Amino acid sequence: MDPDIDRIIFTQQEIERCTDRIARQINADYANESVIVISVLKGSVLFFSDIVKKLTVPCEMDFIAISSYGNTASSGKPQLKKDIDADICGKNVIIIEDILDTGKTLKSLCDLLKRRNPKTLKICVLLDKKVKKACEISADYTGFEVEDAFVVGYGLDYAQKYRNLPYIGALKEEIWKK
């Protein structure tokens, strides 16, 4: 285990089972349909790629970047950094995001994409934090519920580090409180 990690919260095997389960649900929900899956950069990239490899429904991939964070604290003002290329009007869309925390990021992303009139818009998150949400928002597909710790690995970073860890772990407090 990486020395900066306090404890592993979800192992590689647990994550593998979780992406199997979510891909199976998506394949069942979109049988006979196609879907545009949008990865919210950068945190969802590993989760996104594990899921899309398991999709059997026809899909297009796209990427969006929105940011509301410094290193650990939400400023609460999500900003669009990179837009998708696809025209989503009349299409089935699934947003794939790393963490649903206060919900501000996903709320602003959903509001933005809804204005483009997709046929359907669903949310898939790797982690749903057990915290009070600032907005009315919930995920249609959830990997895991997680305690309110600062987590890294499997795409999630602290100051752009730890994204490559194959598991999800709580970062030692002395690292992020420095």
Q: Identify which range of 9-17, 19-27, 68-76, 116-124 contacts ligand 5GP by CB under 6 A.
A: 68-76
In the set 151, 154, 167, 168, which binds ligand 5GP (CB under 6 A)?
Answer: 151
List strand residue ranges (DSSP E) for the chain, in order: 5-10, 35-41, 59-69, 74-82, 92-100, 120-129, 141-146, 151-152, 168-171
Query: Does position 144 bind ligand 5GP by CB under 6 A?
Result: no
Specify the DSSP element, H or E, that contains 14: helix 12-29
Nearer to ligand 5GP, 43 or 143 (CB): 43
Q: Before 82, cis peptide (omega within 30)?
A: no
Q: Show the site string, 94-113: x = touches ligand 5GP by CB under 6 A, - = not.
A: ---xxxxxxxxx--------
Set 50, 98, 101, 128: catalytic member: 101
The 3-state DSSP class for residue 81 equals strand
Nearer to ligand 5GP, 34 or 75 (CB): 75
Backbone angles phi, psi at 25, to 5 degrees: -65, -45
Q: DSSP secondary-structure letter at 101? A: S
In the set 68, 116, 120, 142, which binds ligand 5GP (CB under 6 A)?
Answer: 68
Residue 98 bears catalytic tag: no
Residues belonging to the active site = 101
